[in-house]
Amino acid sequence: MSAHRPTYFVGTAVVASLTGLFIIPAMAQGQESAGGIEEIVVFAQKKASGEALQSVPVSITATDAKMIQTEQLQDLTQLGRTAPNALLAPSAFPAYPSFSLRGVGSGTTTRSIDPAVNIFQDGMVIGYPAGALSETFDLESVEILNGPQGVLFGRNSSGGAVVMRTPRPTSDFHESAEVELGNANTLVFKGAVGGPLIGDQVLGKIAIMSNNNTGLWQNTTAGTFLPSPENPSGTSPQHATGGVGQLHEIIVKPTLVFNPSDSVHFTLFGQYQNENNGGGILYAVPDPPGEPVSNLTKLFGFIPSTQPYTVNLSTPGYNNIQAEHVIGELVLDNVVGGQLTTIAAFRHVIYDSTQNSDGTPFNLVIFPDNREKNHQYSLESRYNRDITSQISLLAGVYFYSSNSTVLEKRAINGILAGSTFANTLDEIANWTQEDKTAAVFGNIDYKPTPEITLSAGARYDYEKKNFDIIPLAPCSGANFSGCPTTFDNNSHDWSAATPRFVASYQFQPENLIYASVSQGFRSGNYNGRAPNAIAAITPANPEKVTSYEIGSKNEFLDNHLRINVDGFYENYTNIQEIAQQMFSNAPAVQNLVNAASAKIWGTDFTASWIIVSAFRLDATIGYAHNHTSPFIGFPTLLPGYGPRLTSNIAGTYSFKVPNLSGSWDLKASYATVSHQIFSGDPLTPNNPGYGILDGSLSYTVGAWRISAFGRNIQNTVYGGLTRSLGYFSYPGQPRTYGINVAVAY
């Protein structure tokens, strides 16, 4: 509980101060809001229509467009802080997610390895995660589903799923615009216009976002440099300084809805994204207390600066993303008494980058001018029908095809290659992967009484991957000349059946209890960074998670208090691990193996309370205890675990100022993540826990809303900490602040 006290104190102090400044009749009388907590509609069970969040027997955290705006949630990483046991983190590569739910996820950025938490947008799975770390722009809702979602969301949802929905145009004309100004010369514009094009038969909308800044991190020549074997002068290499990680991005999202008849509806979603930024910010950190002295200190005499979000990089790198997709959703009502929904989608992404992978000014490991691209096609068709008043049926088929090509280059300075610092070793890995998946799935709901619902579902997936690779190997000449050209190849197929059973009891209109058993699996995978042919073309087999869950969803005090809680136990088997093996000063060799199993148990807790009409409190707590077995065949490597405790507490205080029209909203939130350890190297240090404080003050009058905001107000340094030649980290976002002006008609 101590983790929450600072937030509670801050919120209480702010409320007390403002109450003294302004006369608030509602606060003085202690009256409750008449409306209660708003309902959120979710689509997690893929029914013919949306369902109220409180009636769905699944652990879901749902966020709507209003909450995204009032809490100034910029992207999925910030939104993830509002969900229990969710770590929606960035990775060392920009816009490349590293998501985990309840401790099940994938921390690797090896492109050939599929994630364990699936990301969906408007019914399309983003199978190749590059460029998938999305902003919350033009979204009507985001649902975070904890636990395996194998029946309805298929492979690679063994940890859970993140589901995003774009708002459709309506028959009412509407337009909106938003401008944000912030530190690092941040300038963001968001605009949308939509309405009827041809009566109610054709509706259209287009939304545009432009996002620019000059870099939230500062590149300097700071740090301590001592004379050493590889840096006799004891000085920093000189390079350009100033803002790094700069961003220039544009997103265009057109949406069309066709209603040729009352029973036929077709929606076409499009999206174009072009993003250029200064590359991933990976930076060296001083040797942590109690940890072994690193070779970075011994050989280079370099002790990095401790100034938050300050780096010393000769080659900061770059990152260029171009992605586009089109999604068509056809809904046919009254098909043999039911509804047929078909979603066809295409996505294409090009992701080019130069990445500094040692976080120092010495250019020890650079990934220069890497090239990757992917295109995918998917088709899902599902049929919903109420057979009787007691029995409902869902049945569907699914197809997915993906083709990825990656050229990864590494320039490694000589000290890492067993030579001299002056020499450079160039390495490449080049691979292509084809992935084809087919599945059938179904679910039946049976209501023996109006209060009891029994559900049973299953999915059968078949998947085949073809993998052609030039394994990671050195080139014989300089500047990537004389590189290997021989491909090795293999293909493998897997199949899996994943069932789900749920029993729920609505014993009061405001109270639901449920119990479920569900399974999910993560695909078998090849290792695109393997250093030899055998490791490269020998895939790891699929992971499987079996989850047992009981939960309760409740509303009290005339819908002014909402409490949802669940307990879970997950059996996580055949875990795929990147086993890092180091030899002398050489770079780590990565092997992908099925090396462990785990038992994970814990709880998800969410609550919302309108204490009085002017003050609302929201809180989430997630606890996940992970007991992982030792690595099979790798006795020197230790299993890690994700954060055992996550929490978020947020207070919203609404008030009016006498003699001034409009209303004010003061928002403060504090999110905590406990420490975690990455699997693999036994010398990998603990990643310490952290807390993030956000806040905003908004004034709304008529159609206008003006906000001042701060994110990570304390400038807390957080992110993944690991060890190579030295200790380094890829951080989260530093302090950002600014003003936001929005208008909507």
Give the pLDDT band of residue 681 (cuts 50, 70, 90): low
- Amino acid at position 486, single letter: T
d(CA 248, CA 270): 21
For 587-598, write each residue's pLDDT tens digit: 555 678 888 899
Report whether pLDDT(624) > 70. yes
Per the structure block, which two tokens stand in for 271? 């999206």
Beta-bridge partner residues of 621: 605, 647
Torsion of the alpha carbons at 415, 418, 423 and 429, rounded to the nearest 10: -100
309 touches 734 (CB < 8 A): yes
For 392-433, write each residue's pLDDT tens digit: 999 999 999 999 999 999 998 876 655 554 567 899 999 999
pLDDT at 725: 78
d(CA 522, CA 732): 27
Contacts of 698 (CB under 8 A, 6+ apart): 70, 664, 665, 667, 705, 706, 707, 708
Report whether pLDDT(24) > 50. no
What is the three-class DSSP state of 657? coil
Averaged pLDDT of the chain: 88
Instruction: Give the mean model confidence (pLDDT) for residues 621-642.
Output: 79
Instruction: Give the mean model confidence (pLDDT) for residues 367-390.
Output: 96
Contacts of 21 (CB under 8 A, 6+ apart): none
For 485-528, write each residue's pLDDT tens digit: 999 999 999 999 999 999 999 999 999 999 999 999 999 999 99
Give the pLDDT band of residue 682 (cuts 50, 70, 90): low
pLDDT at 384: 97
Report whether pLDDT(159) > 80. yes
Instruction: Give the mean model confidence (pLDDT) for residues 550-579.
Output: 94
Domain boundaries, the chain: 2-744
For 72-125, write each residue's pLDDT tens digit: 788 888 889 999 999 988 787 888 888 999 999 887 888 999 999 999 999 999
pLDDT at 8: 27
d(CA 170, CA 265): 13
pLDDT at 20: 34
> How large a percentage of the chain has pLDDT more than 70?
91
Helix, strand, coil % over all residues of the chain, rounded to 5: 10, 60, 35
d(CA 611, CA 350): 49
Per the structure block, which two tokens stand in for 571? 């059996």
For 36-64, write each residue's pLDDT tens digit: 898 889 998 999 889 999 999 999 999 98
Q: Is 0.95 surpassed by the pTM of this model?
A: no
Is the Cα torsion angle 609, 611, 616, 617 positive or negative in sign? negative
- Amino acid at position 266, single letter: F
Between 99-108, 295-304, 498-507, 682-691, the lowest mean confidence (pLDDT) is in 682-691
* Nearest in space to 732 (alpha carbons), one of 680, 671, 684, 683: 671
For 161-190, write each residue's pLDDT tens digit: 999 999 999 999 999 999 999 999 999 999
Give the pLDDT band of residue 30 (cuts 50, 70, 90): very low
d(CA 686, CA 567): 27
Task: Specify the residue for token string 């995003």.
Answer: 164
C-alpha radius of gyration, the chain, whole number:
26
442 touches 393 (CB < 8 A): yes
DSSP state of 176: E
Q: In this predicted model, which residue has the larger pLDDT, 293 or 563?
A: 563
Q: In this predicted model, which residue has the larger pLDDT, 135 or 662?
A: 662
Instruction: Give the mean model confidence (pLDDT) for residues 262-283.
Output: 91
d(CA 543, CA 115): 11
DSSP state of 552: E
Instruction: Give the mean model confidence (pLDDT) for residues 269-289.
Output: 88
For 190-231, write each residue's pLDDT tens digit: 999 999 999 999 999 999 999 999 999 999 999 999 999 888
In our burial notation (b when 16+ CB lie closer than 10 A, e otherwise), range 536-571 reads: bbbbbebbbbbbebebebbbeeebbbbebbbebebe
CATH architecture of structural domain 2-744: Beta Barrel (2.40)
d(CA 192, CA 2): 43
Between 254-268, 485-499, 622-636, 649-663, the lowest mean confidence (pLDDT) is in 622-636
Instruction: Give the mean model confidence (pLDDT) for residues 703-717.
Output: 94
d(CA 176, CA 528): 44
pLDDT at 7: 29
Strand positions, DSSP E, 582-703? 589-612, 615-628, 645-655, 663-673, 690-701
Per the structure block, which two tokens stand in for 697? 């003050």
Per the structure block, which two tokens stand in for 235? 């000085």
Instruction: Give the mean model confidence (pLDDT) for residues 538-562.
Output: 95
Report whether pLDDT(25) > 60. no
What is the three-class DSSP state of 428? strand
Q: What is the Cα 152 distance to its own chain's centre?
A: 19
For 314-362, write each residue's pLDDT tens digit: 999 999 999 999 999 999 999 999 999 999 999 999 999 999 888 899 9
Neighbour-count burial of 147, counting CB atoms closer than 10 A to its CB (0-12 exposed, 13-18 middle, 19+ buried): buried
* Nearest in space to 163 (alpha carbons), one of 296, 56, 243: 56
pLDDT at 14: 31
- Amino acid at position 310, single letter: T
Contacts of 198 (CB under 8 A, 6+ apart): none
Report whether pLDDT(574) > 70. yes
- 296 phi/psi in degrees, rounded to 5: -60, -40
pLDDT at 29: 29
